[in-house]
Structure 1
Amino acid sequence: MGCIHYRKTSDAASLIVATTFGVVFGYFIGISLPSASLTMIHAPSGLVHSTDQHSRSKNTLGASSVPKIDVPTNPRGAESLPPGIVVSESDFYLRRLWGEPSEDLKKKPKYLVTFTVGYDQRNNIDAAVKKFSENFTILLFHYDGRASEWDQFEWSTRAIHVSVRRQTKWWYAKRFLHPDIVAAYEYIFIWDEDLGVENFNAEKYIELVKKHGLEISQPALDPKNGYAWPMTKRRYDREVHKDAEKKPKWCKDPLSPPCAAFVEIMAPVFSPEAWRCVWHMIQNDLVHGWGLDFSLGRCVEPAHEKIGVVDSQWIIHQSIPSLGNQGESQNGVAPWVGVKARCLKEWSMFVKRLANADRAYFSQASKE
């Protein structure tokens, strides 16, 4: 009985080993099949040929099958693209997440107005924004980081908000108002937050700018409220003026800034063509923009005809140093003191850079 029992146990063990080996061997054969070449399978030769042709035809859809494209007239960086697919300009039009793209916009705003703002001036900006119709895209640059708190205003949900702490209007303009981004707009308003607009209507302003052919302009400043250059003071006997009524004695050329061809940097308005030039003149590291207003005439010709002040639509410069107070107090000195010191320093730096650039250009031109 003992011998018989041993044989049965041995046979059972052999069966288990054989079965296990078969399962393992079959598993490895199975996982290796997907990677096997079709030619190793005894399929009809016609089928193998057809499958191979299909594989090659799929490969021809890759980039390697597209003829090399080189279009020097395309924007820089897009020379390898067919011109028909190149979209070199953009805009701030808001788009939906659903539906047909062609049906996104019931109306395209024709103008752009930007304000560099802090939350403390919210009521002032609310009054200003209401002076701009639905023909305007509203863009707010927030220097205090409190962008979400503006949702109390109904128009805020339609506005575009960009928030970076302690940055200036010209810092934002250089980074977010590239000429190819704002090219869709007929005029670009780049305004401060401390402007009184009770006597201002944006649509009427645009009409006068077009009527008088102004490429760079600003609303006149009420001479009874705050300081203004002679050129930007309101005159009561006309719609628009292009030179100062009373020219200071130190005004060497009556057709040059600040006696003509001059607007201040607090509330300028640009055509897209003029802005393209001005944007390139803005220095990346000089963020306050002081001195820029004296050089705007380089961007339009003739400057004394295409730069002007609109008298019949005027504003008040309230001179509230909100952004200036964002600076840091040093040695007990008020923050705005350090900010103003940098403004003056940047003005000097800009003048020197421009003079050096002129000198280098004309020196090279004379050699040629």
Structure 2
Amino acid sequence: MVSRKTNESMRLIVATFVGVVFGFFIGVSFPTFSLTKLNLSSSTLTTTDFKYTKHTKLSPSSSTHVQHPIGNNGTSANVTLKKIWVSSNPRGAERLPPGIVRAESDLYLRRLWGKPSEDLTSTPKYLVTFTVGYDQRKNIDAAVKKFSGNFTILLFHYDGRTTEWDEFEWSKQAIHVSVRRQTKWWYAKRFLHPDIVAPYDYIFIWDEDLGVEHFKAEKYIKLVRKHGLEISQPGLEPNKTLTWQMTRRRRDLEVHKETEEKPGRCNHPHLPPCAAFVEIMAPVFSRDAWRCVWHMIQNDLVHGWGLDFALRKCVEPAHERIGVIDSQWIVHQSVPSLRNQGEAQDGKTAWQGVRERCKKEWIIFQKRLSRAERAYFKQVNSTSH
């Protein structure tokens, strides 16, 4: 009997041990078993708790291992999430694969329907902008008609009136930007970034008071290319408002790049205003020249006075790459429309206040440019010794 009780005790111990082990394995395998059998949709299992670690720079080979709750066979799986960091990408886009980065844009109009690849029936090669008020609509209408379908038309409205321009058929295809009481250089700095106007070979940034009876845009472009000009303007028909001899139309020339000025105005025959000089009323920039000029435009100096004397810094050699097209000429009508957008203050009329600020901005720009150049050369000299 003692032997029988001993055997029964051993069997009980063994059975208990086997039951515990079997239960353990059942418990461990139960979640996988139940999910597989119930065939739950993956949408109910997509919530995963990821910890985000802020980083400032990663190498292209950086990666993070994350355990995803469901593998292809219904089991847990380790997934490697590679991190992207491409230092050659534009600033702020380093985390994107280069193949998706689009650093440049355009001003081409797109449809709201159909295939994107079929949106554009034409891609204009040139851009012309006018800063306008509605009172000058007839003058602008005449000017726009001098530009072919090869040009994108962009109007900057300083008087806030845009819908009225739809009386002109071309206006319905033009781009209109309306901000009250601003100058064309204010608009240019904010809406003509080089990466936005990159598709255009040449950019015209013109005033509204230009007579264009003797001007043809396509012929102008041909002459610009022929003479290798990066910055140019049409010749001005001489009148009482002509300020500089450089921009005066020469009747016997196709193009000129230098002139003789009044005594004391020119420090060197290759420097403004005797050469490497155009005025800011009707400048035309190549794509490359505009990229430099845009960066030189000051954010707070809106009238652009003094800019024409500094344009030469954006092309080399400036006295050969900046010129005036004489055979395609215009008339400066000197309509003081923008000056009247000012406000009378301290006993000064609206136009007097605007004129005074123009002169102040010229002085400020000259000082800034001079200080910046001195600081640069000082740094270069200190590092070279």
TM category (shorter chain) comes to 0.7 to 0.9
Residues 74 and 199 of structure 1: is their aligned pair in 2 closer, same or farther, counting only changes over 3 Å? same
> SS state of the match for residue 182, structure 1?
coil
The question of 1:248 aligning with 2:262 is answered yes
Q: Distance in 1 between matches of 2:36 and 2:309?
A: 82
- Aligned identity (percent) is 70
Which residue matches 2:103?
88
The question of 1:177 aligning with 2:187 is answered no
Which residue matches 2:380?
365
Find the partner of 1:314 among 320, 323, 329: 329
Structure 1 residues 1-368: aligned runs within 5 Å? 43=34, 46-47=37-38, 55=70, 66-224=81-239, 226-244=241-259, 246-250=260-264, 251-368=266-383
Residues 202 and 45 of structure 1: is their aligned pair in 2 closer, same or farther, counting only changes over 3 Å? closer
Residues 257 and 100 of structure 1: is their aligned pair in 2 closer, same or farther, counting only changes over 3 Å? same
* AA in 2 matched with 1:216: I
Q: By how many angstroms is 1:131 displaced?
A: 0.4
Q: By how many angstroms is 1:333 displaced?
A: 3.0
Residues 104 and 66 of structure 1: is their aligned pair in 2 closer, same or farther, counting only changes over 3 Å? farther
Is the Cα–Cα contact under 8 Å of residues 263 and 293 in structure 1 kept in the other structure?
yes
Q: Distance in 2 between matches of 1:49 and 1:100?
A: 38
Which residue matches 2:3?
none
> SS state of the match for residue 136, structure 2?
helix
* AA in 2 matched with 1:148: T
> SS state of the match for residue 377, structure 2?
helix
Aligned residues: 324
> SS state of the match for residue 311, structure 1?
strand
Q: Distance in 1 between matches of 2:132 and 2:262?
A: 34
Q: CA-to-partner distance for each residue in 1:35-63, whole Å, 9 max, x for gaps?
A: xxxx7899585556996788456xxxxxx
* AA in 1 matched with 2:140: I
Q: By how many angstroms is 1:212 displaced?
A: 0.3
Is the Cα–Cα contact under 8 Å of residues 194 and 318 in structure 1 kept in the other structure?
yes
* AA in 2 matched with 1:183: A
Two-structure CA RMSD over aligned residues (Å)? 2.2
Is the Cα–Cα contact under 8 Å of residues 225 and 317 in structure 1 kept in the other structure?
no
User: Which consecutive unaligned segments of at least 5 residues does structure 1 have?
Assistant: 1-38, 58-63
Residues 240 and 55 of structure 1: is their aligned pair in 2 closer, same or farther, counting only changes over 3 Å? same
Q: Distance in 2 between matches of 1:226 and 1:367?
A: 47
Q: By how many angstroms is 1:235 displaced?
A: 0.4
Q: Distance in 2 between matches of 1:302 and 1:112?
A: 25
Q: Distance in 2 between matches of 1:367 and 1:318?
A: 51
TM-score (normalised: structure 1)? 0.84
Is the Cα–Cα contact under 8 Å of residues 143 and 167 in structure 1 kept in the other structure?
yes
Residues 239 and 331 of structure 1: is their aligned pair in 2 closer, same or farther, counting only changes over 3 Å? same
Q: Distance in 2 between matches of 1:171 and 1:301?
A: 26
> SS state of the match for residue 190, structure 2?
helix
Q: Distance in 2 between matches of 1:314 and 1:345?
A: 31
Q: By how many angstroms is 1:103 displaced?
A: 0.7
Q: Distance in 2 between matches of 1:282 and 1:45?
A: 66
Q: Distance in 2 between matches of 1:44 and 1:184?
A: 56
Is the Cα–Cα contact under 8 Å of residues 247 and 254 in structure 1 kept in the other structure?
no
* AA in 2 matched with 1:231: M
Q: By how many angstroms is 1:331 displaced?
A: 4.4
Runs of 4+ in 1 over 3 A off after TM superposition: 39-57
Q: By how many angstroms is 1:227 displaced?
A: 1.5
Q: By how many angstroms is 1:226 displaced?
A: 2.9
> SS state of the match for residue 189, structure 1?
strand
Which residue matches 1:28?
none
Residues 105 and 65 of structure 1: is their aligned pair in 2 closer, same or farther, counting only changes over 3 Å? farther
